[in-house]
Structure 1
Amino acid sequence: MRVPSLRLWLPGKLRLRQPWARESASRRSLRVNIGVAFSLLIFVLGSGLITFSHERHRRIALVTASELFERSTAQLAADISSLYGPAETLVNLTATLANELPILVTDRDLLLVHFAAALDDHPNVEAVFVGEGDGSFFLLRSIKDSPDSSGLDTVVPAGTRYQVESVERGQGEGAQYEHVFLGKDLEWLGANEAFITGYDPRSRDWYRLASRSSELLHTDFHTFFTTRETGTTIARRIGETKSVVGVDITLEILSAALGKLSTSATGEIIVFTEDGRLLGSDKPDRMGGTGKLRPSGSSPRIADFDEPILDELFHRFVEGDRDASLMLNAAGQSWFASIRPVRFGSNRESAFMAIAVPEKEMLSALERVRLQSAAFALVALALSVLFAWYLSTSISKSTAQLAAETREMSRLRFHSPITVRSRIAEIDALARSMAVLKAALQRFTRVAVSLSAEEGSDGVARVLLAEAKAASRAQVARLFLVSDDEKWLVAFEPDDAIEEADVDVRAGGSASIGRARIALESTDWQGVSVPPEVFALNAGRTVIDGVDVEPRGAESSVQADARLLLVPLKADDERAIGVLQLSVSPAGGASLQVDEENVRFLELLAASAAVAIRNRQLIEAQQATFESLIRLLAAAIDAKSPYTGRHCERVPVLTERLASAASASEAPAFRNFHLDEHRARELHVASWLHDCGKVTTPEHLVDKATKLETVYNRIHEIRTRFEVLWRDAEIDYLRAVDGLPGGERESLSAELERRRIELRADFSFIASCNIGSEGMDEESVERIRAIGRQAWMRHFDNTLGISQAELKRMRNHGSASLPATEQLLCDRPEHRIEWHAQPDPAERERHGFTAPVPENEYDHGELHNLTIRYGTLTAEERHKINDHVNQTILMLDSVSFPKNLKRVPAIAGSHHEKLDGSGYPRGLGAQELGIEERIMTIADIFEALTAPDRPYKRAKTLGESLLIMRDMGEQGLIDAELLELFVESGIPQEYARENLAAVQIDIPISVRPAVNPIGERINDER
């Protein structure tokens, strides 16, 4: 369970990290808030009014635009009506007149006069004509502005008012064409002799359609044959004849009318057909400048002009908006627009009028009003901000001072009292409350710092008692903590001298004062009621003179003459871990200070102490658990072998003693080495775990006392083979002497005895070599090989009764037939066992392991083992033994040690390193080995040399061990100065008295060996 704690930082000044520290960066002062509030209010109101006014005016402008467009459409309709109405009347009148007076058609002169009068009376009519059933045609055209308005590629005489186009076709005769230019009085001015057009009215739509009906005909907009202008024709049949009278009306007058309607330089007014042909525009250049067709001879189309607004208008028209007011977006701006149908003539609705004006242009006046309103609002806003700033400054001055005091309190700065006062009652009350709070926080923070500074539960208890005693004016302050078995409240006193006494406990009194412990029984104790300390603990509430302080804030909870105050040590909702007892003697009239404020302070103080004590108890429990696990692992390693027992226990003793001596030494070599609590803890853990990797080392290697020993000693197999040779010699003798005379028998008997002596000598030699106590020279190696070459006969299958692993290794090496000849000693392929899991090169490189890895994991070859030069371990077995250091480093590196124990893997894994770099597993040198690693190395070597329980070597005496270590120091293998300190401090002698047999203590305590009479090499450091 995680216990909350007060986190303190002390970087020169005490600072408490506040939970609201990050949030304060986004806060603003009261002055700014008031000013911003007023400013935002004015801004929102002003903006709202301006926006409302703008939208209101905008809607009015839209309505006005719609009405304007309607008027423009009506005006255009009126213009068209003024154009088409008289023309229709002219056609009807002429058709009726010609029907009544046929001569009017046949007499060209009379017809000319009539047509001239009609053109003069109808200036919007381009031409008036008559077409007959035989193909004859007579047309009078009005020449208005300039000579080139005739539309012909010919020279028009000056003063021309009319031009006549005549086609006469008689029966059986060819067409006669005549093109004459007349003045205003119909005088002849000239003729176009080359006027031959091939024109036949009967091929034109106006004639064909009108000749079939007696009704007035309006043609679609089309191109006139002669002038190539765009316009429409109004025609009607004359009675029941084949003659048709008609007039041509061009669209030039339509564009002129649209130009008069235009009120915007950037706006658009067009008239168009359903298929997108442009009939008129307020911009004459779109119609060829004079309303004439472009050189292609076709009517322009809307799509030809690449105008986004025209394209958008026609798109909306195609989508169905054929009689509507619109809002469009085109060319990067908004437009007011309208599309309305336009009637050309009495029964014609095939054209539409579109008007579009940019919204910006339409609302330009409104925009000026809006800008003026915004300027006024900004001025009002500026004045409002100044007023709000003044008002907020006067209000927030006191709150700013209180905020500054709060910041000082958040930094735990309590050097000055709060003196802020205000005319505003709420702010003044806040200032007084903060003054009280500051004093309480100052007192509590000082206590919290003191509690946090203590590293043990005893120190926390002393601080708690001292502060509580001073705050309550108590004469006696005691602390009761729940025992580990939760059966007692055990008292703690500052002098740590607690006398246990069985004193009767009386309810509400102070009889429990002075008791060393109080039973935590749920029933009555010794026939009386439950002690108030137990009640306060179980209920988790403060008790004053036996009275429960509940409900909070009640007047009855404060007594002027209280003599016993019990405060539970309780954090949050957890169960109390103890009780704080404060009391005064009844004599003398003294009483406790138990006002509401002081009681709450004592409760908060007790809660803080509870957190601190529980944290320290948890830390101590975790450390105890960790320590027990370390010792458990060390005990398990020692228990693996009965011959290395207590090695993991004895090395820490030597290590800690030598480290203490080095820390206390004033020698220059150790001047910078100080063994503080954390460093001592780190070295302690490392020394206990220095051989933890041995849990992976096979026991038979740790215990291997002879060369041929694996899980058992194979010397017995060798001896059996010698027995076989012995019997073979006897059998050979008995076979040889059978039937021989006595003299020869004696010779063979002597040979048999010589063979027996030889076998005994060979086995004795092999057995002595198996011990491995002495170094082996080359002559001995050769003798072993010679002895091993002796042969014996095997009569049984050596692949029977063995494991699958052995069978796999012998698969290709078993005897094919029996009996088989075998050597006395040999290295067989099945003796070599490959690696089950090859060491990972990447992992070895990462940890800096430099020792070479043998080819096989094990080699049980008999000759290979018997010819070991020193000791009893092969290269494979020595690597396996030495690998325990690698495993120690790997295991400890995988442990998440705290910061103060980070060097445990390095210290524990370096006890086989040498100062000259010849050690293992990483080959570290003097520059890379700290003093802790050197201390560990000396302790490990000394314990290994003097250990009396190693089966693979004889235990060295104290003198022999120190001489060997002195030689190692002189050779630069271990730290000579540390070794000298080790000897001079008396650690070897003290250790010898505690752990060595009497026969091993061969030198007096005060004598240091001067020479090395042994010259022995250390071969095993297991």
Structure 2
Amino acid sequence: MDAFPDKAQARRQPAVDILMQKVAQGIESYVGQEMAGVPPEVVAGLADRVVREVREFSEGQGNHLYELVKIGLGLSSEKNIDRLLERIVREARHFTNADGGTLYIKDDARQALDFAIVQNDSLGVCMGGSGEAISWPPVPLRHENNGENHWNVSAHCALAGEPINISDVYDAEGYDFQGTRDFDASTGYRSRSMLVIPLRDHEDEVIGVLQLLNAKDRETGAVVPFPEHEVGMVMSLASQAAIALTKMRLVRGLENLLDAFVRTIGDAIDEKSPYTAGHVYRVANLTEEIALEVNRATAGRFASVSFSADELAEIRMAAWLHDVGKITTPEHLMDKATKLETIFDRIELIRHRVEISRLHDAFVRLENEPCSRTEGRTAPLPPPKEEEWQEIINFLDMINLGGEGLPAESIEKVRRLAGITYAMSGVEFPLLAPDEVENLCVQKGTLTAAERKVMNH
């Protein structure tokens, strides 16, 4: 970039020379017609002076255009909104050699201009952005009676959407500068020249106001009015600033929208099952804390590791989405509290089978054994398998709950129980179906290998 000014100068020189030649020719033609008898050396001196001043003006304008290009590139590359706002004011002040500058951001909801940045070299003021917080109240765009506030110069600029160039605010008519006078009285400052420029977005809506104060002569340092030929340049700068600010707002809005969408998905996953409620939120917070702790590390394995702001955002989003597949996971898997649970807990089916077997055994005994009667009463029949059936159902109840480890002997016992049958309407049925055996033999938790694969998908 250092060589760029020389190249620009080289490209600009032919145009300047052509312009100078035309000016010189015009002066010679005019002098020849209107200044006959004037000594030639006077005419030549006049022509040289005009040519020199026009050349200086042209080159100055060219330099201004080049500065605008550099400012535009700088503004478009800035990613931090606080630094962007500060840079807008700083570059505008540098461009016009202004002593102070204020940037207002329009709040459409409250119909007011909020102070965003305040800078003043003479007073050593640097407020807003990354500097000291601004506690000044916003500038209302409307009065309490809903009438437009045209007394305040910044509010008028925002409402009218036109630049305002004032040579001396103390002599200006049509605006209330009492607040400026009070500020000067309390600080010993003297506000004089002021240039107020609206910032327009891509839809030509005013989104803010740039106010520059006390332009200084670059040679003498005296406060002078803002030159009219610089107003257009400053408006161009303000346009670039508005575009950069709008772009950053749009990007931030999209980021916030995506972040809200991702958090909504995470919240929906947490709400889907009472057994995993809060899991996504906890993982996201813990992951972010770990990443920040890595950034703070100054010694050890992670001393050389540092995550950028973009990388931290990616880590945070990944943490929020780590369980996104559970959106399509069936609820009976998400909520599977026992090994035999599907839509309902199938341990109840096994209970019914056991009960059927017990009743069947009792019926067979009643059929095959004679009844003994005592004093007209039937003697009670002993339940030879009652304790065995109860032990079976107690065992199945216990292992159905799942846990951290199922012993091998329990798995073997389940497989032995699978060989027990019960009869119904003359048909033999297994006490445990094959898929029930598979579920009851899960060694850790309640999910089978196939179900866990679905959960982790």
TM-score category (smaller protein): 0.7 to 0.9
- Which amino acid in 2 is paired with 1:825? L
Query: Which residue in the other structure is 1:436 paired with?
Result: 60
Please tell me whether residue 873 in structure 1 is matched to residue 451 in structure 2.
no
- The 5 Å alignment of 1:184-199 reads none
- The 5 Å alignment of 1:325-474 reads 405-407=9-11, 423-425=21-23, 431=55, 434-470=58-94
**Cα distance, 1:785–1:727 mapped onto 2, change above 3 Å:** same
- Which amino acid in 1 is paired with 2:141? L
Once the two structures are superposed, residues 232-264 of structure 1 have per-residue CA deviations (whole angstroms, 9 ceiling, x without a partner) of: xxxxxxxxxxxxxxxxxxxxxxxxxxxxxxxxx
Once the two structures are superposed, residues 492-518 of structure 1 have per-residue CA deviations (whole angstroms, 9 ceiling, x without a partner) of: 234133334xxxxxxxxxxxxxxx312
Please tell me whether residue 781 in structure 1 is matched to residue 411 in structure 2.
yes
- The 5 Å alignment of 1:76-87 reads none
Once the two structures are superposed, residues 430-484 of structure 1 have per-residue CA deviations (whole angstroms, 9 ceiling, x without a partner) of: 8555313223124434533543453223222222223434555655422111125
**Cα distance, 1:15–1:406 mapped onto 2, change above 3 Å:** closer
Query: Which residue in the other structure is 1:759 paired with?
Result: 389
* Higher relative contact order, chain-length normalized (CA < 8 Å, sep 6+): 2
Once the two structures are superposed, residues 673-729 of structure 1 have per-residue CA deviations (whole angstroms, 9 ceiling, x without a partner) of: 221222222222222212212222222212212111112111111112222223233
Please tell me whether residue 730 in structure 1 is matched to residue 362 in structure 2.
yes
Aligned to 1:465, the other structure's residue is in SS state helix
Please tell me whether residue 823 in structure 1 is matched to residue 430 in structure 2.
yes
- Which amino acid in 2 is paired with 1:447? I
Q: 2:72 & 2:242 partners in 1: Cα distance?
A: 12
Conserved 8 A contact 1:564-1:592: no
**Cα distance, 1:654–1:408 mapped onto 2, change above 3 Å:** farther
Please tell me whether residue 635 in structure 1 is matched to residue 267 in structure 2.
yes
Q: 1:733 & 1:443 partners in 2: Cα distance?
A: 107
Give the CA deviation at 1:572.
6.4
Conserved 8 A contact 2:193-2:226: no
Q: 1:433 & 1:544 partners in 2: Cα distance?
A: 21
Aligned to 1:477, the other structure's residue is in SS state strand
Give the CA deviation at 1:759.
0.8
Query: Which residue in the other structure is 1:541 paired with?
Result: 162
Conserved 8 A contact 1:718-1:824: yes
Please tell me whether residue 618 in structure 1 is matched to residue 250 in structure 2.
yes
- Which amino acid in 1 is paired with 2:354? F
* Correspondent of 1:772 among 396, 402, 410: 402
Once the two structures are superposed, residues 203-259 of structure 1 have per-residue CA deviations (whole angstroms, 9 ceiling, x without a partner) of: xxxxxxxxxxxxxxxxxxxxxxxxxxxxxxxxxxxxxxxxxxxxxxxxxxxxxxxxx
Query: Which residue in the other structure is 2:456 paired with?
Result: 882
Q: 2:200 & 2:295 partners in 1: Cα distance?
A: 42
Conserved 8 A contact 2:150-2:156: no
Conserved 8 A contact 2:89-2:102: yes
Normalising by the residue count of structure 2, what TM-score does the alignment of the two structures yield? Answer: 0.73
Please tell me whether residue 702 in structure 1 is matched to residue 334 in structure 2.
yes
Please tell me whether residue 575 in structure 1 is matched to residue 191 in structure 2.
no
- Which amino acid in 1 is paired with 2:84? V
* Correspondent of 1:693 among 314, 320, 325: 325
Aligned to 2:204, the other structure's residue is in SS state coil
Q: 1:787 & 1:572 partners in 2: Cα distance?
A: 76
Conserved 8 A contact 2:202-2:243: no
Aligned to 2:105, the other structure's residue is in SS state strand
Query: Which residue in the other structure is 1:862 paired with?
Result: 436
- Which amino acid in 2 is paired with 1:633? I
Conserved 8 A contact 1:568-1:580: yes
Please tell me whether residue 660 in structure 1 is matched to residue 292 in structure 2.
yes
Give the CA deviation at 1:791.
3.2
Query: Which residue in the other structure is 2:34 paired with?
Result: none
Q: 1:698 & 1:670 partners in 2: Cα distance?
A: 40
**Cα distance, 1:449–1:528 mapped onto 2, change above 3 Å:** closer
Once the two structures are superposed, residues 612-668 of structure 1 have per-residue CA deviations (whole angstroms, 9 ceiling, x without a partner) of: 111111111111111111111111222221111121111122222222333333445
Structure 1 residues without counterparts, runs of 5 or longer: 1-11, 17-401, 410-417, 501-515, 549-560, 796-818, 828-860, 884-1022
**Cα distance, 1:775–1:459 mapped onto 2, change above 3 Å:** closer
Q: 2:437 & 2:291 partners in 1: Cα distance?
A: 46
* Correspondent of 1:518 among 139, 142, 145: 139
Give the CA deviation at 1:578.
0.8
In terms of mean alpha carbon deviation, does 450-459 or 686-695 score higher? Answer: 450-459
**Cα distance, 1:15–1:651 mapped onto 2, change above 3 Å:** farther
**Cα distance, 1:571–1:717 mapped onto 2, change above 3 Å:** closer
Aligned to 1:601, the other structure's residue is in SS state helix
Q: 2:340 & 2:148 partners in 1: Cα distance?
A: 78
**Cα distance, 1:870–1:748 mapped onto 2, change above 3 Å:** farther
Once the two structures are superposed, residues 165-218 of structure 1 have per-residue CA deviations (whole angstroms, 9 ceiling, x without a partner) of: xxxxxxxxxxxxxxxxxxxxxxxxxxxxxxxxxxxxxxxxxxxxxxxxxxxxxx
Identical amino acids, percent of aligned pairs: 28
Conserved 8 A contact 1:472-1:593: no
Once the two structures are superposed, residues 313-356 of structure 1 have per-residue CA deviations (whole angstroms, 9 ceiling, x without a partner) of: xxxxxxxxxxxxxxxxxxxxxxxxxxxxxxxxxxxxxxxxxxxx
Aligned to 1:749, the other structure's residue is in SS state coil
Query: Which residue in the other structure is 2:121 paired with?
Result: none
Aligned to 2:385, the other structure's residue is in SS state helix
Query: Which residue in the other structure is 1:137 paired with?
Result: none
Please tell me whether residue 794 in structure 1 is matched to residue 424 in structure 2.
yes
- Which amino acid in 2 is paired with 1:682? E
Conserved 8 A contact 1:737-1:748: no
